[in-house]
Structure 1
């Protein structure tokens, strides 16, 4: 497989000025220098399948709290632009999120990783909302945390989460 084909698979574009694969312990690190910014692909395992095609398996995405916050801000921005249907973002919206996230963090996650994070955040939000609806739980804005008495927490834990 040539570099141009790898660019399309990993970067989603052939428009890079320079791209390189560097050997690592668990595969390769892909570096793409586009006309506007530098993006690093996550470490990837590159292997040949039976048809001698390269299969790329990115490492699981790791997110810092600041990256999660940025991701949420980017999603809100796309909602305001009208790039979200009833339950998910349009292709244009996802592309914008991916591109801006890479520009600001120099990390390139694939669409599946962004969608997984979106679903994780939605689940956390739903769990959080349910907790606040339970009797005895309140939101403390100064501390940015949920508060309840020890008895309320013990009772909630006894009956089980969710």
Structure 2
């Protein structure tokens, strides 16, 4: 599927802060009208909001773009909420951003690299974001590493732990001279861990398909933050991340290695 079919190019180039503010106001309006179920907006809400936003700005945004922006803002709010729950962090009302001493930031981001951009970003719409996202992100605090659904994160962590144990055993066996194919053991373990993930093992939960859709949406959100990709690479990546294993790897890898890995699968 091409980039234009996803409608992502236009969103990246033309979406501005006034669109965010309008989107939040329209969502608050829908929320006040009771158009939510279990802290999630009903399907027709996105259609209504899309129509009203297009009328106000004379744009041609589609529902998928609205959903992507919604999840991007929800992710931002969740990270801010998590930061404010850590010792030493507080909300600077004047600058509209998370604040802390340099040492606090350095210690925290040394472990949580994904939080680094939030040291410099301001969120003037934070109060409005809280009206929409406060209740829905409370249960997601446990998805602390990948910003994924809690159940997915727990299963993935379990698989990673098993992978580490297998790798340790593999190294131990190789040192003892009993492992006949040590060069393949780590790769086999990785494949097994991914095969046992909620993506591949559908029997692990009836909501796996929903999880896969959410994770794919969040992959696209993260993808839009990588400015180094040209439009051709971006289009290829959108398709590549539809693969379950690619999506897991993409959300797991952090820092410069994410871009290196992503380009390796596009070649």
TM-score, structure 1 normalization: 0.61
- Residue in 2 aligned with 1:58? 7
Determine helix, strand or coil for the equivalent of 2:24.
Answer: helix
In structure 2, how many angstroms separate the alpha carbons of the residues matched to 1:141 and 1:57?
37
Q: Residues 77 and 160 from structure 1, CA distance in 2 versus in 1: closer, same or farther, beyond 3 angstroms? A: same
Aligned length: 109
- Structure 1 residue 99 corresponds to structure 2 residue 51: yes
Q: Which has the higher helix share?
A: 2
In structure 2, how many angstroms separate the alpha carbons of the residues matched to 1:129 and 1:155?
18
- Structure 1 residue 109 corresponds to structure 2 residue 75: no
Gaps of 5+ in 2: 114-144, 146-267
TM-score, structure 2 normalization: 0.38
- Residue in 2 aligned with 1:73? 25
In structure 2, how many angstroms separate the alpha carbons of the residues matched to 1:58 and 1:98?
14
Gaps of 5+ in 1: 1-43, 46-55
User: How much does 1:80 deviate?
Assistant: 0.4
Q: Which has the higher strand share?
A: 1
- Structure 1 residue 142 corresponds to structure 2 residue 94: yes
Cα RMSD between the aligned structures?
A: 1.9
Q: Residues 97 and 158 from structure 1, CA distance in 2 versus in 1: closer, same or farther, beyond 3 angstroms? A: same
Asked whether the equivalents of residues 7 and 65 of structure 2 are also in contact (C-alpha less than 8 Å), the reply is: no
In structure 2, how many angstroms separate the alpha carbons of the residues matched to 1:159 and 1:135?
15
Q: Residues 119 and 59 from structure 1, CA distance in 2 versus in 1: closer, same or farther, beyond 3 angstroms? A: closer
